[in-house]
Amino acid sequence: MNNTIAIGSDHAGFNYKSAVIDHLQQKGFEVKDQGTFTDASCDYPDYAHAVAGAVEKDNTTMGILICGSANGVAITANKHQGVRAAICWEKEIASLARQHNDANIICIPARFVNIDLALEMVDIFLSTEFEGGRHLNRVQKIKI
């Protein structure tokens, strides 16, 4: 996997996004911050499209999206071809999203997980490989 991560958030995820960026940079990842750049109220689709577009353009880039519930960013990102955005709120879900679904964007609900769990999920998501096998056929059926 590439060492490039596209990340974005709305205002509800802004503080988490800053912490995740610092965490990833300390681990040697190249992080492309797609915004927002303040905690002022904003429209999550703008940032979800930016991250999903980066992942869609370069299938070796992984993505991270953070908003209050993670629903809006996941719905938006999944409109892009080749993007499999998964809402994760537990470590096991972050792992299974990669193992079974080959998810390439993790969507974190900042209002429902603490920052330590968010960072752990990011680490798990980025270090877990897709299992392939019987899951490959299922993932291939996603595309219209």
Tens-place pLDDT, residues 18-39: 999 999 999 999 999 999 999 9
> Contact at 8 Å (CB) between 89 and 95?
no
Hey, what domains does the chain have and what are their CATH numbers?
4-140 (3.40.1400.10)
Tens-place pLDDT, residues 106-134: 999 999 999 999 999 999 999 999 999 99
**10 Å Cβ neighbour count for 140?**
9
What pTM, to 2 d.p., does this model score?
0.96
Task: Give the active site residues.
Answer: 67, 100
For residue 7, the cross-strand partners are: 33, 64
